[in-house]
Amino acid sequence: MALKLLDIPPEVLDHILSYLDIEPPSLQALHQEPSITLTESNVQPLKNLSLISHSLRRLIIPRLFKFSRIWLDWLCIEDLVELSSGSEDIDDFLNFVRLNDVRSHVEGLVLYTEVDLDPELDSTGLRHIRDSFGNSGFCGFAHLWRNLLTVLNPLFITMVAPPSTLTLLASCISKQQDAWAFDMPFHILHLKPSYTAPIVGSLKPVRVADLFYLRDWSHCTLNEGSSLKAYSTDEYSLKIAPSIATLRPFKFMTWFTSLDYIAIFPLTSHTYEISGLVKAMPNLESLRVRLAPEPSSKEDKERMRKDVPADMWMELDNGYSLILHSISALDRLKHFESLDYAAAGLQAGIDAALERKMRGWRRCGEGCWIRDSSLDSTKGPVTELI
């Protein structure tokens, strides 16, 4: 007699289901050029299995919402700004989480939107959002995170949004006047806490960068996409990239122990801001950087043909010089990795820059270096800046 699937003991069946519990696409694509499709996947074994029967669905639901995503449309964004307190869509999601008793099972949370609040691009009548930002316009977004993180204790949160909207989601302020010059439809901000215990209960009134005070965040991934379009504009070196990286210094920055910065040919002026961000994180122990396209990116190769290669490679070299110089101010930094090292054509240049800048460090793998205090006495500290 054949054994039916539902005849298997629940604990055994749950163990079988664990093999279908794959890593979410949002983590797999975290270092790729930001896209609204970050959370999409054609492989959905748990979701498909949950459609077979109610019994299976009850067993699968905790795993099915292990990595949850929330889509923010125009109405939701407008609610967050106009009401300055919350959104019905968010309330519905939290009610669902409570009703199905999965709040303790949500390990990852992704918020994503296509809504662009840049005044030059906004034609839907919501320009006043940007104008009200300096007063109470960001309060609704601060309450959004307070509501979510009061109920949930995720191991990570990820935001995928246009740069101007990401600014509001993070309750920050950034310069957007040159956003038109950059082909950056989306940025990614990914945060992980050192532990998940909520600290919401003792919060002060809403403040700038409120999100960053809701947990003791220890890791940050900032993926800002491509600056290739800017190189085709007049006086490109004077353009200011839209970014939350100019937000500093704040107390929460001392909590971060690891940082991944991902971009495609950022301008030297912007990499200078990134180096300042790195310096504002004195407890940083690990830093990973990518400043060039992935070797497998055919789309970037096509876009590069339209620009002046010499300009981009010069900016890349300057970017590494600035970031490596900032490392000299970080006494706690133990690990540095260049994700660009996967491109064979970049290895010689990266090696040369690291040889000049990273005295007291030794290679521990392809593109990886660790601090070795035994080397400091022979080569001395880094002091020069090219």
Residue 122: is its pLDDT beyond 80? no
More confident residue, 386 or 382: 382
Does position 121 have pLDDT exceeding 60, yes or no?
A: no
pLDDT of residue 339: 95
Please state the rounded mean pLDDT for residues 107-112: 95
Label residue 197 by pLDDT band (50, 70, 90). low
**pLDDT at site 309:** 67
Given phi > 0 = left and psi -120 to 50 = alpha, else beta, which region is 384? beta
- Inform me whether the pLDDT recorded for 329 exceeds 60: yes
Higher per-residue pLDDT: 385 or 345: 345
pLDDT computed for residue 205 by the predictor: 63
Give 260 or 139, the one with higher predicted confidence.
260
d(CA 214, CA 185): 27
Among 16-25, 92-101, 224-233, 322-331, the least confident range: 16-25
Mean of all residue pLDDT scores within the chain: 82
CA angle (177 as vertex; 170, 271 as ends), nearest 5: 70
Q: Is the pLDDT of residue 159 over 70?
A: yes
For Cα atoms 271, 276, 282, give the angle at the middle one, nearest 5 degrees: 135
pLDDT at 380 over 50: no
Tokens in use for 40?
Answer: 């999409």
Average pLDDT in the 174-183 region?
85
Q: What is the mean pLDDT of residues 269-281?
A: 94
Highest mean pLDDT among 59-68, 109-118, 220-229, 302-311: 220-229
What's the pTM?
Answer: 0.87
Contact 262, 290 (CB under 8 A): yes
What are the structural domain ranges in the chain? 9-15+45-65, 72-379
pLDDT at 381 over 90: no
Span 314-336, average pLDDT: 92
Cβ neighbours around 2 below 10 Å, total: 4
Per the model's pLDDT, the better-predicted residue between 138 and 58 turns out to be 58
Helix axes 268-279, 309-327, angle to 10 degrees: 10
pLDDT of 323: 94
Banded model confidence at residue 126, pLDDT cuts 50, 70, 90: very low
- pLDDT mean over 137-142: 71
% of the chain surpassing 70 pLDDT: 81
The pLDDT value recorded for residue 345 is: 86
pLDDT digits (tens, 9 = 90+) for 9-44: 878 888 888 888 888 889 999 999 999 988 888 888
The arrangement of strands across the sheet holding 286-290 comes to 67-71, 108-112, 156-161, 187-193, 217-226, 258-264, 286-290, 335-338, 368-371, 361-365
- Residue closest to 67 by CA, chosen among 5, 112, 31, 13: 112
pLDDT at 204: 62
Look at residue 382 in the predicted model and tell me its pLDDT.
40
* Residue 300 scores a pLDDT above 60: no
What would the mean pLDDT of 180-204 be, rounded to a whole number?
A: 78
pLDDT of residue 333: 95
pLDDT at 379: 46
Q: Check pLDDT > 70 for residue 312.
A: yes
Q: Report the share of the chain in percent with pLDDT over 90.
A: 36
Position 314 pLDDT exceeds 60: yes
